[in-house]
Chain A
Amino acid sequence: MASAVHRFGELPPVDAPAHLGRPAPEPPSGAPCPEREPALLFSGVTHYYGDHRALDDLHLSVERGQTLALLGPNGAGKSTTISVLLGLVHPRFGHVEVLGRSPRDAVGSGRVGAMLQTGSGTGLPPGVRVVDVMRLVRRLYAHPAPLDVVVERAGITTLLYRRTDHLSGGQAQRVRFALAIAGDPEVVFLDEPTAAMDVEARRAFWKMIRALGDEGRTTVFATHHLSEADQVADRVVVMHHGQVVADGPGATLKAAVASRQVRFVADRADALVLNALEGVTDVQVRGTTVTLNCLDADASIRALVRSGVDFRDLEVTGAGLEEAFLALTSTAKRPEDERQP
Chain B
Amino acid sequence: MNALVAFGRFEVGRLLRSWKFLVITVGFPVLFYMLFLRDHSSGKIVYAGVTWREYLMVSMCSFGALIAALNAGGSRVALERAGGWARQLRVTPLPAWSYVAVKMTASMLVVLPVVLLVELVAATFGGVSLPVGTWVGLSALLWVTALPFSTLGVLLGFAVSTEAVFPVVTGLLFVLAYFGGLFTPVSSMPGALQVAAHLLPNFHHLSLGLEVLSGRTLAASHWLVLAGYTVALGGLIVWRHHVEEARGVA
Contacts and interface: CB of A to CB of B under 8 A. Distances in A.
A27 interface: no
B3 interface: yes
A279 interface: no
Contacts of B91: 86, 88, 107, 112-114, 116, 189
Contacts of A109: 93
Interface in B1-39: 2-3, 6-7, 10, 14, 17-18
B88 interface: yes
Contacts of B84: 116, 118-119, 121-124
19 contacts: A49-B248, A83-B248, A86-B91, A107-B90, A107-B91, A108-B95, A109-B93, A114-B91, A116-B84, A116-B88, A116-B91, A120-B82, A124-B85, A125-B85, A136-B7, A136-B10, A140-B92, A141-B92, A179-B88
A141 B250 CA distance: 21
Nearest to B91: A114
Interface in A98-135: 107-110, 112-114, 116, 118-128, 132
Main SS at interface, chain A:
loop
B192 interface: no
Interface string A274-291: 000000000000000000
Contact of B80 (A89, A110, A125): A125
A260 interface: no
For chain B, which range describes its interface: under 10, 10 to 19, 20 to 34, or 35 or more residues? 20 to 34
B88 A88 contact: no
Contacts of A6: none
Main SS at interface, chain B:
helix
A88 B83 contact: no
Nearest to A103: B91
A176 interface: yes
B88 A183 contact: no
A118 B80 CA distance: 11
A136 B6 contact: yes
A132 B246 CA distance: 32
A90 interface: yes
Contacts of B87: 88, 116, 118, 123
B83 A122 contact: yes
Contacts of A119: 84
Nearest to B15: A127
Contacts of A125: 14, 80, 83, 85
Interface of B: 2-3, 6-7, 10, 14, 17-18, 79-80, 82-85, 87-88, 90-95, 245-248, 250
A137 B95 CA distance: 13
Nearest to B18: A127
A86 B82 CA distance: 19
A78 to B, nearest CB: 13
Contacts of B250: 88-89
B85 A123 contact: yes
Contacts of B92: 107, 110, 137, 140-141, 183
B10 A132 contact: yes
Contact of B94 (A116, A122, A127, A140): A140
Nearest to A128: B14
Contacts of A174: none
A127 B6 contact: no
Q: Which 7 A-B pairs have the closest CB atoms?
A: A121-B83, A89-B248, A118-B84, A123-B84, A139-B6, A121-B84, A110-B93
A47 interface: yes
Nearest to A80: B248
Given A88-B90, A126-B80, 18 more contacts: A80-B248, A86-B91, A89-B248, A89-B250, A90-B246, A108-B95, A121-B83, A123-B87, A123-B88, A124-B88, A125-B14, A126-B79, A126-B83, A127-B17, A128-B14, A132-B10, A136-B6, A140-B93
Nearest to B2: A139
Interface in A68-99: 80, 83, 86, 88-90
B77 to A, nearest CB: 11
A256 interface: no
A39 B183 CA distance: 61
A184 to B, nearest CB: 12
A271 interface: no
A176 B84 CA distance: 11
Contacts of A89: 245, 247-248, 250
B83 A139 contact: no
Nearest to B6: A139
A121 B6 contact: no
Given A136-B10, A139-B3, A121 B85 contact: yes
A113 B88 CA distance: 10
Nearest to B250: A88
A47 B248 contact: yes
Contacts of A141: 3, 92-93
Interface in A12-33: none
Nearest to B17: A127
Nearest to B92: A140
B83 to A, nearest CB: 3
